[in-house]
Structure 1
Amino acid sequence: MRIAVIGAGALGSTFACLLAAQGHDLVVTMRAGALSAVRSDGIQLSGGFGDLLAHPLAVDRLSKPCDLALICTKAQDAAAAIAENAAVLDGTPVIVVQNGLDGVTTAERLLPRSECFGLITIIAAHYEGPGRVRVTTVAPSYLGRGDGEVDAQTQRWQAVLAAATPTVALDNFVGAQWTKLVVNMLNALPAITGLSVQAVIGEAGLRRLVTRSMRETVRVALATGVRFGALQGLSHRRLHLFALAPVWAGQLLPRSMRARMGTVPNQGSTLQSLARGQRTEIDFLNGAVVRAANAAGLAAPMNTLLTELVHEVEQRGRFLAPAEVLARFR
């Protein structure tokens, strides 16, 4: 099968290698600066999935049809990347591999003849340079679309992905996106402080902020009628109870997430973007909570300030010390 991966960053490169290992014909799109390295040396994957080397066709944009496409850009780059390749992609089944809530609807709007699916992945991968990626956490991915039950086409593409990496077809995908958004509340403070996710959760004051941002996210979702999808041991009932619990008890949630990560430092995708001098996707993570709250006439002060602080780090080019961060929330 000919498969296109749009955006060969950390996750795009990971999926390209895993699918190539199954014998698929891969073509990847990437920024011009990385093309020569991948064309000469391929994509090298190390870490949790073992050592893999793939030699996909590397291009700046698609020119030939494919059987399936994975959109693996950051959320803020998705619309431009899809539009740039729309002449080839429209009519091709598309799987959007992204954080946030808007990826699938963006693809559906720009590719009206395509069947569009979403993939939530818990894999943690570190981009070490063009064509070099290290997987720090191996975990399942979850495929679906809409808020109903799994359909036949979802099952078809789940089988393709599952041959390469553990993949589950998921009911209530929209609810699961909200569940993953709660998990993605781990991203902001590492980007603000420069610390790993594990280190942030290990700091009592920062862990309290993470817990408060997660609790605010759950409360906004519940107030707007969201029913959370089951994901990574999280369920609607568990998150509902978490939203009612005091902050001191709620800190068990980020602690349990840190335990699953292991000891290899996890920077989180937002901090990785800063390290590469790229815009972050914070407006599609914490910012998505703020937009949902505003649309419902609610306030989301925790996520508003976290979004502002990430943008401050982007603009000033320096991290904030934990004590300075805590002072901003007083």
Structure 2
Amino acid sequence: MRIAVIGAGALGGTFAVLLARAGHEVTVTARGAGLAAIRSGGIRLDGGFGEAHEWVHALERLDETPELVLVCTKAQDAAAAIDDNAAVIDGASVIVLQNGLDGVATAERLLPRSSCFGALSIIAANYTEPGHVTITTPASTYIGRGSGPVDDETRRWQTLLSAAAPVVAIDDFVGAQWTKLVVNMLNGLPAATGLSVQTVVAHRGLRRIMTASMREAVRVGTARGIRFGTLQGLGDRRLRLFARLPIWIGQLLPLLMKARMGTVPNLGSTLQSLRRGQRSEIDHLNGVVVREGSTVGIPTPVNAAITAMVHEVEASGVHPTPDAVSARIRL
């Protein structure tokens, strides 16, 4: 099948290689050093899914209509990337694979003739250098659309993708997006401090702050009438209980997440963006909790502070120490 992957970063590069290895005709979009590296040396993948090296067609902008499109850009870049390719992809089936809450709605708005789906990936991948991705934690990706049950078209794409990587079709994709948003609270503090997720969770003060940010996300989702979908053992009942427990007990959640990651340092996608000198997607992670909280009158001071700190690092390039973060966000 002819498959286009828009955005050949960590997840885009991963799926491009795995799909090409499964026998599909894959085209990726990239720019700058990434485009040059892929054109000259293909994409190399190592780590949790094994080693692979695939030569894929690489362009700045797609020039023909594929049968399936995976949008794998950062959330803040999705609208521009989709719009840049809309002339040839409107009408194709589109799977938006990214963090945040807005990706599928953005695709549906810009591609009115397309069937649009969402995908949530728990894979931890490091964009080691242009054209080279290392999987630090292999995991499943979850595909669905809307708030209803899985439909036949979703199952079709799940079956196709599953031949390349572990993919699960899920009911109530919107609820699952909110669960993934809670999981993505792992990203903000590593981006602020410059430390790996494991190191942040191991720090008592930072772990407490991370737990508080997750609790705010759950409370906002609850106030918005969301029923949290089930991802990796986390679901509506457990998350609602987590938000009610004393914070010292709630810290078990990030500790369990850390244990699942293993020992290979997980930098988180937001810190990786900062290290490459790119804008981060913090406004679509901790920032979206602040945005959604304001619509239902739920205070989100911890997520507001984390969002502000990451923007300060974007502007200055200087990471505050863990002690400085703990002093700034007092719980």
Letter in 2 for 1:310: V
Deviations, residues 221-241 of structure 1 (Å, cap 9, x unaligned): 101101000111001000010
Structure 2: any 5+ residue segments left out of the alignment?
none
Instruction: State how far apart, in whole Å, the 2-side matches of 1:61 and 1:121 are.
Output: 24
Instruction: State how far apart, in whole Å, the 2-side matches of 1:200 and 1:128 are.
Output: 21
Deviations, residues 153-184 of structure 1 (Å, cap 9, x unaligned): 00000001111011100001000000000000
**2:54 pairs with 1:54:** yes
Question: Quick check: 2:185–2:213 contact (8 Å CA) kept in 1?
Answer: yes
**2:226 pairs with 1:226:** yes
Structure 1: any 5+ residue segments left out of the alignment?
none
Deviations, residues 292-324 of structure 1 (Å, cap 9, x unaligned): 111112221111111001001111111110011
**2:156 pairs with 1:156:** yes
Identity %: 64
Instruction: State how far apart, in whole Å, the 1-side matches of 2:9 and 2:97 are.
Output: 12
Letter in 2 for 1:156: R
* Greater CA drift, 99-108 or 290-299: 290-299
Question: Quick check: 2:8–2:34 contact (8 Å CA) kept in 1?
Answer: no
Q: Quote the residue 2:133 is aligned against.
A: 133
Letter in 1 for 2:99: N
Residue 38 of structure 1 deviates from its aligned partner by 0.8
> Displaced runs of 4+ in structure 1, greater than 6 A?
none
Superposition RMSD in Å:
0.6
- Aligned residue pair count: 330
Letter in 1 for 2:91: G
Instruction: State how far apart, in whole Å, the 1-side matches of 2:47 and 2:131 are.
Output: 14
Question: Quick check: 2:219–2:298 contact (8 Å CA) kept in 1?
Answer: no
**2:266 pairs with 1:263:** no
Residue 114 of structure 1 deviates from its aligned partner by 0.3
**2:198 pairs with 1:203:** no
Instruction: State how far apart, in whole Å, the 2-side matches of 1:211 and 1:102 are.
Output: 24
Query: Taking structure 2 as the reference length, what is the TM-score of the superposition?
Result: 0.99
Instruction: State how far apart, in whole Å, the 2-side matches of 1:246 and 1:34 are.
Output: 46
Q: Quote the residue 1:324 is aligned against.
A: 324
Residue 33 of structure 1 deviates from its aligned partner by 2.7
Residue 35 of structure 1 deviates from its aligned partner by 1.6
Instruction: State how far apart, in whole Å, the 1-side matches of 2:277 and 2:233 are.
Output: 34
Q: Quote the residue 1:307 is aligned against.
A: 307
Letter in 1 for 2:277: G
Letter in 2 for 1:37: A
Residue 245 of structure 1 deviates from its aligned partner by 0.2
Instruction: State how far apart, in whole Å, the 2-side matches of 1:36 and 1:216 are.
Output: 42
The 3-state SS of whatever aligns with 1:85 is: helix
**2:281 pairs with 1:288:** no
